Homo-oligomer: A and B are copies of this chain.
Amino acid sequence: EPSATIIDGKAIAQQVRQEIAAEVSKMKESVGKVPGLAVILVGTRKDSETYVRSKKKACEEVGIDSYGVNLPEDTTQDEVLNFVKKFNDDPAVHGILVQLPLPKHISEEAIVGSVCIEKDVDGFHPMNIGALAMQGRTPLFVSCTPKGCIELLVRTGVVIKGKHAVVIGRSNIVGTPAALLLQKQNATVTVVHSKTPNPAEVTRNADIVIAAVGVPELVRGDWLKPGAVVIDVGINPVEDLSTKKGYRLVGDVCYKEACQVASKITPVPGGVGPMTIAMLLSNTLESAKRAYGLVDAAP
C-alpha cells in the first residue's frame, strides 16, 4: 500500500534554528551585537499569550534579544502606536511584531501600517505584499508561515519551477503570500477559495498543494493527483473526548487519506507549525544583518 514520505517540520525547523544560532554568534563576534525582536501584545487572550511566550523563548534559544510589552486590553490605539514608534526608533530592535488579533477598538490596518517597513518581520505591510507580487522587486520580508512552507519544499528537494501549484485559501497572512512566492519561484499557480465551485477538480491538477483554509480535513484523498506534494497549514481543534484536553488538532487535509495518494506530506502538528517561528527568527536575523551592513541586498 503506497504511503507518503512525511515532511518532518519539527526536525527541519530545529536545523534552521541551529543555523540561525550559529549566525547570531558570528554576528556577536564580528560586530559585537545581536539581533533584537520586539513583541507587542495587547490584551490577555490565552492563545496569544502562549504564542508570544514561545516566540520569546525561541529568540532566547538562538541568542536573539527579545523586547516587548504586554499591554492591557483597554490600551488606546494611540498608546499602541507610541510603543510601535518607540521600537521603530530603537536601533537595538530589528524586528517588530504586533500579536494579532488586536482588541476590536484598535485598527489592525493602522497599527500594522505604522511598523517601519525595515522592521516589518511579519511581512504584513502592503509594500511588502506589493513587492512580492511584482516582477523585478524583492520584498524586505516575507510572511513567516508561507516562507516556512516554501522552505519545507526546498529543504526536502521538491522542485517548484515548472510545477503546477494549487493554493487553497487566500488570506493576507498565508494563502496570498504563499501563492505569490510559488509564482516567484516559477510555479504555475492557481488559487482556490470559498467561491471556487469545484475545488476538488481544480486541486487534482496540482503537483504541489498548499492548504490554508481553516476547515478540518477539507482536502480529501480524491482531491489529490497521485504523487502530489502536500503542505498542510491548517491547525484546527476538533472535539476528541478520548484526550485529556477534550480536543485534538487536525489539519485542513485528511491526513490518513492523503498519505495514500501524496508522495510527500506535512503532518499536523509537527509540519508547518514549527517553521513559522523559525522563519520569524530568520527574518529578524536578516533584518539585523541589513542594519549592520552584513549583507548588501534584500534576500
Contacts and interface: CB of A to CB of B under 8 A. Distances in A.
A202 B162 CA distance: 12
B130 A162 contact: no
Interface in A90-112: 109
A230 interface: no
Given A127-B130, A129-B134, A170-B135, A186 B176 contact: no
Interface string A147-167: 000000000000001101000
A20 interface: no
Given A128-B130, A134-B176, A193 B186 contact: yes
Contacts of A136: 109, 172
B186 A188 contact: no
Contacts of A135: 170-172, 176
A196 B163 CA distance: 8
Contact of A190 (B127, B176, B190, B193): B190
A170 B109 CA distance: 28
A275 interface: no
Interface residues of A, number: 35
Given A129-B130, A133-B133, A188-B196, 9 more contacts: A126-B126, A127-B127, A128-B130, A130-B130, A135-B176, A161-B195, A162-B195, A162-B196, A188-B191
A262 interface: no
Contact of A193 (B170, B188, B193): B188
B197 A162 contact: yes
Identify which of A136, A183, A188 gathers the most chain B CB atoms within 10 Å of its CB: A188
Nearest to A186: B195
Interface in A178-198: 180, 183, 186, 188-193, 195-197
Interface in A251-278: none
